[in-house]
Each structure stands twice: as C-alpha cells, then as structure tokens.
C-alpha cells in the first residue's frame, strides 16, 4: 500500500484526538477558538507535511504511533501560517471554505485580531504536539529547533514575496528563491528532515538534495494549478492567484516571451480584483501561446529530475526508493 | 548587589549579540526585518521576564552565562506578542517610540502584513535562543514546552480580553482571570518556572504560589500606572489605556461605587479616541473619589501579601528570600 492511503487516515485521527483532548472542559471564547481551529484544520486535506515527516522517519525506523502523533505538529503549524497569510492577503476563501478570519461574526478588524491570536495558539499547539511525544529528548530538541527554522525560512520567503511583489523588479531568480524559502523547506524538506532526526537517521542534511528540489517542483506545480487547474478539484477559484498579483514563473516567463501588447494586457490586470472570464481566458491564452507554460513545465521537470536522481543516496532499500519516487510523482502530477 | 543591577546589562548584551549574529551576512528585506526587530526589542527596557527566569534558576544553581543566554528567549517572545497586540489594538506608540507596524514606510495594510510576519520571525528566534543553549536536553524540552504553554495562556487571556471588552458584561472576576492568563503566567510565573526547570529545581510547581499572585499584582500596578502614572517615566500617554477601552479593576470598581451620573460620564467616553484633558481629569477624579482607586490598591496588596507569604517555601536561603522580596517589591512599587 502506498504511503498516502496508509497514513493519511491515521494523521487525521491523531489530529481529531488532539483537538478533542484540547477542547475538553473548555468554555467561552477558548472553546470557540479551539472548535474553529479544529474545523479549519480538519477541512484541509492533503496532509503533505505530516506524510513527508513520516516518510523521513521511515527511512531509518519502522513507522509507529509516536511519529504519527508528532507529525500533526506540522498541520498545526500550517494552520498558524495559513491564518496569518490569509489576513495579510485579505483572502476570503481557503480549503474550499471561508478563510479563518471570515469564520467569526464580529466586525472586520475584530475578526482579524481574534484570528491573529488564534493562529498564535495553533503555533503553541504545534510545539506541544511535538514535544509531548515520547522520543529521546535530544532528538526532540533538534526536531523542535528545525521546526522553528522552518517557520523562520517561511517568514523570510513571505517577506520577500510581499515586498518584491510591490515593485516591478521581481526576477525569475527571485521567484525561485521565494519558492525555496517559502515552500521547499516548509513543505517537503523540513518535514522530512524532522522525521529523519526523530528516527536517529545519521545524516539528515543528505535529505536536502531530495527535499529542496522536490519542494520547488511542488510549488511550481501549485502555481500551474493555480491558473490552469480545475476549480472543483482545487476547491478555490483559478483567478485568485492572478487577482492577488502573484508573480509566478508563468508570469515572469510571459514577460520575457510574449509581445509588448500582450505583456501590457497582463500587467494592467495582474493584482486587480474583478477580472472578467473573457479577459482571464485571454491571459491564459497568452501564457500558453508564448511558450511560458511549457517553459515553466520544463523548469518543474528539471527540479523533479534533480530530486529523483538523489533517491539512491538516501536509502539502499528498494521499497524506500519506490515510496520516495511515488511521493515525488504525486507532488508534481497532482491535480489538486 | 540586587538582581536588576547585576543582570540587566548582561541580558541586554546577550540580546545585542543575538541580533548581531542573526544579521550577519543578511541583505534585503531579511536584513531590514532583523534590524527593525533589534531596534524594537532593544528599545524596551525593564527585562522583567528574563530577570524572573534568572531568579528562578538561581534558586537552585549559581547564575551562569547559559541562563543569561537562554533568558533572552523571553524578550524575543515578548516582541512577538507585543507586535501582534499593537496591530490588533491599532496602537501607535510602544516603549516610547512608534509601534512596530509604524516603523515601516509602506502603505498601512502592507506595514501590518509585514509586521505580522516579523513577529512570527521573533517567535521562531525565541525558540532558537532557548534551544541553542547547552543545557541537558530533557530540561530544555520541559522549558520549551512551558514557553509554549505561556504563549497559549497569553493567547487565551488576549481572546477573553478582546471579546469581553466588546460587551458590557465584563466582571471583576473576568478581569482577574484575564490578568492571570495574560500577565501572571507570562510575566512572572512562567519565566521563573522555566528558570527553575533549567536549573533542575525539584518542584517547579511550588513557584505558582509566588509567581501567580505576584503576576496579578504586577498587572494591577500596570493598570494603575496606565491611568495615574507619570507620562515621562512611562514613555506612553496615560489616556491610551482609557481610549483603548481597557476594562480594569479601576473601571469596574468605579461602576460599582460611583454615582449613576458619574458612571454614565465614564461609560460614554471609555474606548473612544480624543478625550479632552479636562474630561480625563474628571474621569480620574471620579475613580479616586468614589474609592475605586483605594479598593484597587487593596486588591494589589492582597495579591502582593499572598506572594510574600509563600517566599519561605521556595528556598531556605536568606539571600534567596531577600532577592525574592526585593523583586516582588519592585513589581508593585515601580513607577514605570
């Protein structure tokens, strides 16, 4: 059985249990905060980060209850960061439902204030979930330190994203750097290394050569789906990335490859709300026709190949290698 | 020499060193973020939390460089929480200078977005600062777990504060509960217990009987200074608590003890910006005249006495007892 089918249910169950234990005996706003965090966290579905943590652990140790319990720390961290992100971007939709700060019925700024704090709670929960599990203390410390570094990297990526998006000078290299900081560490590499550390894997840094390129490939696929994916499968509108003004490889390659008039057409609309279906169709057409979509797919393949080529260094076991390949494929072939 | 004179300089130096190391080799927005965090963190002055952490450590162990280095984690946590607080409350002034989100020159919401993320960075730094110090791993784990619980408690207190302040039904007991969650754990009790844990002190929970009441007394003194203190010493306006609509013991006792007309006078002005000096003078007069100020001071004394009476349980050493008493006195007699 593949990794996802085998462990996704266990991760969800461990998350449910965490929230059930947390909510017990609570009342008032604390209870409301925890229930809303539960609803928000359970609504998301892929559990990619916990899965990569379990995968990293499995490279050196049989999967047990402990690593499943520890892995939910990454979903709690994910909720923390997503809630802040959505306030910053003023996003209204997340995971096919309202963004967290739209789940409260107070006035706008109060909802945001409460949500900033609820996110901070989820951050504290993520540490508790990790530190409560019965691993050797030195491994727990290293894993906890790495988790903080992941948050740090993600924050730097987020700051680069916010400030570089303001100007017109963002380059393809900037976008790749942001992907590396914001996604590659956070989604694939960091979680896998945390799992490896908890298992006592001898050289966790070796994972960088798999996790970093795969993480970048994951984000590029995300950007492609964010403009060309199926809205029903994604659970979000495909115009939202564009309306938020996200400067992806797709956009920056188009700026290099399309005609002056086409570039102007996109520039005038990128980052503005309320684009018409026809105009958005034309934007997608330009990106496709000028070759930017193909070029982005080639870049994705380059990173994917880089990750695949490192697999043989990570483990001598054929079944490990198969699952690493399976997870890599899943990241770049997913449709949601 | 007393604790404050002895260690405040060392704490500041360790903080400076942390930021100097962090900023080295950085550029762009990352460098800007770290410098602004440094400026903001160094501007604050009392270092109460690190001092209580060192005090808790000293109960069982000589003070060394390690505990001073670990103690700065609490100032980094403090910056994290203050930055979020000021965004939530839309406060413009902090520690005698602009609040963090007023330190950037972008447009308003961008400044807030950047600041949310910079605060999250400071949170990550606080873990790194603690986990990087060479203590036995099991003690580090317990201290880290407690630090997360402190953030959790503070968050719950903050949520209670935000939501209960919206209605008119906040009671004296609510305010005490908020003080307990938001300040007592966070400012006195949690830091002291973290220090005790790092020193291997046998029964850290014993500290609750000192740290919790002293923390509440600290917050009550804060509320008194926030309306009756000296603006120059405080580095902030004495009308700001009132304009923010803070429901303190001072206000709630006044609602119990003043005349109908006086209560209406306060109710109509609490939580509104732009109160005139004359009106604010009248508010203070009402609070003083009706006996609410005295009653608040009595409550402060009750908690202070409770803390003092527990001192003999914490350590048999006279010099320990002297410093505990000294720190307790400082918390409730301070003028800033």
Q: What are phi and psi of A299, to 5 degrees?
A: -60, -45
Higher pLDDT, A231 or B51: B51
Residues of B in contact with A148 (CB under 8 A): 124-125, 127-128, 131
How many whole angstroms separate alpha carbon B299 and alpha carbon B175? 12
Contact A127 B127 (CB under 8 A): yes
Least CA distance to B119: which residue of chain A?
A155
Tens digit of pLDDT for each residue in B166-225?
877 789 999 999 998 888 999 999 999 999 999 999 899 999 999 999 999 999 999 999
SS3 A98: strand
- Token code pair at residue A296: 């982005």
Task: Measure B11 CA to nearest chain A CA, in Å.
Answer: 22
Q: How far is CA A238 from the centre of its chain?
A: 17
User: Which among B29, B124, B163 is the nearest to A151, CB-wise?
Assistant: B124
ipTM: 0.93
Q: How far is CA A104 from the centre of its chain?
A: 24
Mean pLDDT on B68-72: 98
Contact A159 B33 (CB under 8 A): yes
Q: What letters, b where the CB count within 10 A reaches 16 and e where it falls short, cover A258-277?
A: beeebbebbeebbeeeebee
Residues of B in contact with A138 (CB under 8 A): 137
> Mutation test of the interface with chain B: which of A21, A23, A91, A127, choosing the one with the most B Cβ atoms within 10 A?
A127
Mean pLDDT on B42-57: 93
Least CA distance to B80: which residue of chain A?
A120
Q: What is the pLDDT of residue A167?
A: 77
Least CA distance to B126: which residue of chain A?
A148
Q: What is the pLDDT of residue B232?
A: 83
Residues of A in contact with B152 (CB under 8 A): 121, 124-125, 128
Task: Measure B271 CA to nearest chain A CA, in Å.
Answer: 14
Residues of B in contact with A125 (CB under 8 A): 148, 152
How many whole angstroms separate alpha carbon B176 and alpha carbon B219? 9
Contact B162 A114 (CB under 8 A): yes
Contact B144 A149 (CB under 8 A): no
User: Which among A113, A120, A160 is the nearest to B29, CB-wise?
Assistant: A160
Least CA distance to B84: which residue of chain A?
A116
Contact A123 B125 (CB under 8 A): no
Q: What is the pLDDT of residue A286?
A: 97
Q: What is the pLDDT of residue A1?
A: 66
Residues of A in contact with B127 (CB under 8 A): 127, 144-145, 148
Contact B120 A166 (CB under 8 A): no
Least CA distance to B128: which residue of chain A?
A145
Task: Measure A39 CA to nearest chain B CA, in Å.
Answer: 18
The CA-atom distances, in angstroms, between B87 and each of A184, B124, B163 are 29, 19, 16
Mean pLDDT on B242-270: 94
User: Which among A114, A123, A159 is the nearest to B117, CB-wise?
Assistant: A159
Chain pair A-B, CB pairs under 8 angstroms:
148
Series of mean pLDDT values for 10-residue runs along chain A (336 residues) = 87 98 95 97 90 97 97 97 94 89 91 97 98 97 97 95 83 90 92 98 95 96 94 82 91 96 96 93 97 97 97 94 94 86
Contact A141 B141 (CB under 8 A): yes
Radius of gyration of chain B measured on its C-alpha atoms: 20
User: Which among B89, B110, B120 is the nearest to A162, CB-wise?
Assistant: B110
Task: Measure A332 CA to nearest chain B CA, in Å.
Answer: 28
Which of A26, A32, A18, A131 has its CA nearest to residue A76? A18
Q: What letters, b where the CB count within 10 A reaches 16 and e where it falls short, cover B95-111?
A: beebbbbbbbeeeeebb
Residues of B in contact with A76 (CB under 8 A): none
SS (H, E, C) A46-96: CCHHHHHHHHHHHCCCCCCHHHHHHHHHHHHHHHHHHHHHHHHHCCCEECC
SS (H, E, C) B89-151: HCCCEECCEECHHHCCCCCHHHHHHHHHHHHHHHHHHHHHHHHCCCCCHHHHHHHHHHHHHHH
Task: Measure A137 CA to nearest chain B CA, in Å.
Answer: 5
**How much is the pTM?**
0.94
Task: Measure A326 CA to nearest chain B CA, in Å.
Answer: 32
Residues of B in contact with A151 (CB under 8 A): 120-121, 123-124
The answer to whether residues A175 and A252 touch, using CB atoms and an 8 Å cutoff, is yes
Task: Measure A29 CA to nearest chain B CA, in Å.
Answer: 6
Phi-psi region of A296 (alpha: psi -120 to 50; beta: other; left: phi over 0): alpha
Contact A128 B116 (CB under 8 A): no
Residue B110: partners with Cβ closer than 8 Å, 6 or more residues away: A162, A166, B104
The answer to whether residues B143 and A170 touch, using CB atoms and an 8 Å cutoff, is no
The CA-atom distances, in angstroms, between A214 and each of A170, A226, A328, B168 are 23, 18, 7, 54
CATH number of B3-333: 1.10.600.10
Q: What is the percent of chain B where pLDDT is above 70? A: 100
Q: What is the percent of chain B where pLDDT is above 90? A: 81
Contact B159 A33 (CB under 8 A): yes
User: Which among B112, B124, B136 is the nearest to A152, CB-wise?
Assistant: B124
Alpha helices for chain A (secondary structure H): 3-23, 28-43, 48-58, 65-89, 108-131, 137-166, 172-179, 190-199, 208-228, 231-234, 240-243, 249-257, 260-269, 277-289, 292-314, 318-333
Contact A127 B145 (CB under 8 A): yes
User: Residue B1 — very low, low, confident or very high, per pLDDT cuts 50/70/90?
Assistant: low
Residues of A in contact with B162 (CB under 8 A): 110, 113-114, 117
Q: What is the mean pLDDT of chain B?
A: 94
Helix B28-43 to helix B3-23 angle (10° resolution) is: 170
The answer to whether residues A250 and A270 touch, using CB atoms and an 8 Å cutoff, is no
How many whole angstroms separate alpha carbon B324 and alpha carbon B209? 13
How many whole angstroms separate alpha carbon A159 and alpha carbon A177? 12
Residues of A in contact with B177 (CB under 8 A): none
How far the first Cα of chain B sits from its last, in Å, is 21
How many whole angstroms separate alpha carbon A176 and alpha carbon A216? 7
Task: Measure A161 CA to nearest chain B CA, in Å.
Answer: 10
Task: Measure B152 CA to nearest chain A CA, in Å.
Answer: 5
User: Which among B124, B125, B159 is the nearest to A117, CB-wise?
Assistant: B159
């Amino acid at each position: 059985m593949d990794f996802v089918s085998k462990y996704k249910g266990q991760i969800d169950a461990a998350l449910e249990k965490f929230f059930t234990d947390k909510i017990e005996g609570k009342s008032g706003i604390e209870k409301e905060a925890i229930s809303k965090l539960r609803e928000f966290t359970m609504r998301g579905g892929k559990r990619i980060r916990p899965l990569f943590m379990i995968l990293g652990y499995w490279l050196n140790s049989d999967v047990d209850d402990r690593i499943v319990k520890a892995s939910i720390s990454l979903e709690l961290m994910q909720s923390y960061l997503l809630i802040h992100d959505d306030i910053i971007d003023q996003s209204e939709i997340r995971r096919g439902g309202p963004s967290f700060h739209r789940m409260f019925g107070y006035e706008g700024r109060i909802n945001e204030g409460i949500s900033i704090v609820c996110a901070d709670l989820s951050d504290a929960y993520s540490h508790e979930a990790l530190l409560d599990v019965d691993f050797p203390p030195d491994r727990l410390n290293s894993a906890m330190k790495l988790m903080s570094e992941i948050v740090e990297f993600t924050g730097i990526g987020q700051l680069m994203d916010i400030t570089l998006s303001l100007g017109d000078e963002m380059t393809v290299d900037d976008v790749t750097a942001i992907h590396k900081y914001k996604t590659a560490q956070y989604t694939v590499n960091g979680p896998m290394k945390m799992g490896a550390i908890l298992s006592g894997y001898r050289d966790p840094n070796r994972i960088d050569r798999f996790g970093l390129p795969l993480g970048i490939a994951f984000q590029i696929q995300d950007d492609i789906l964010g403009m060309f994916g199926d809205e029903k499968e994604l659970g979000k509108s495909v115009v939202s990335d564009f309306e938020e003004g996200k400067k992806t490889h797709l956009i920056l390659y188009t700026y290099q490859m399309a005609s002056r008039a086409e570039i102007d057409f996109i520039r005038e609309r990128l980052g503005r709300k309320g684009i018409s279906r026809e105009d958005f169709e034309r934007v997608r057409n330009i990106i496709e026709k000028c070759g930017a979509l193909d070029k982005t797919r080639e870049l994705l393949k380059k990173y994917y190949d880089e990750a695949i080529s490192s697999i043989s260094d990570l483990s001598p076991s054929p079944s490990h290698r198969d699952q690493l390949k399976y997870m890599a494929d899943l990241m770049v072939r997913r449709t949601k």
